[in-house]
Amino acid sequence: NAGVTQTPKFQVLKTGQSMTLQCAQDMNHNSMYWYRQDPGMGLRLIYYSASEGTTDKGEVPNGYNVSRLNKREFSLRLESAAPSQTSVYFCASSMYNVGDPNEKLFFGSGTQLSVL
């Protein structure tokens, strides 16, 4: 099993450009998440999806949009990239429902994004 796969691994954008970060999981998990991690800081939740067809805002959703394309895939879109969005982005999934006491997250290896 590949687990959680993120593409691309690295990306450089100019301010104002748009791009979509892709995430796919092969564990048949219900819940999926997008986090960002800035240097020396913990992870901050951007958006999450409790099930196919549903998405909800997390802690820092401004400047981002998401799509839960199907049960496997959850994409994150930057419509007009800004330097403040330079970060490492992690996708995660969980077999349990969002907020379930037994929830355990499985993370991808991350996408390092630089916005110039």
Partner 1 sequence: LAKTTQPISMDSYEGQEVNITCSHNNIATNDYITWYQQFPSQGPRFIIQGYKTKVTNEVASLFIPADRKSSTLSLPRVSLSDTAVYYCLVGPALSGGYNKLIFGAGTRLAVHP
CA–CA gap between residue 76 and residue 19 (Å, rounded): 8
Contacting residues for 109 by C-beta, under 8 A, at least 6 apart:
6, 9
| 35 is an interface residue for partner 1 by CB under 8 A | yes
Q: Which of 33, 74, 76, 81 binds partner 1 (CB under 8 A)?
A: 33
Task: Please list every residue from 86 through 105 that binds partner 1, using CB under 8 A.
Answer: 90, 92, 98-105
Q: Which of 1, 2, 28, 42 binds partner 1 (CB under 8 A)?
A: 42
Contact 14, 115 (CB under 8 A): yes
Nearer to partner 1, 56 or 79 (CB): 56
Contacting residues for 26 by C-beta, under 8 A, at least 6 apart:
1, 2, 3, 5, 72
Q: H or E stretch including 16?
A: none
Nearer to partner 1, 50 or 69 (CB): 50
Residues found near partner 1 in the complex (CB under 8 A):
4, 33, 35, 40-45, 48, 56, 58-59, 90, 92, 98-110
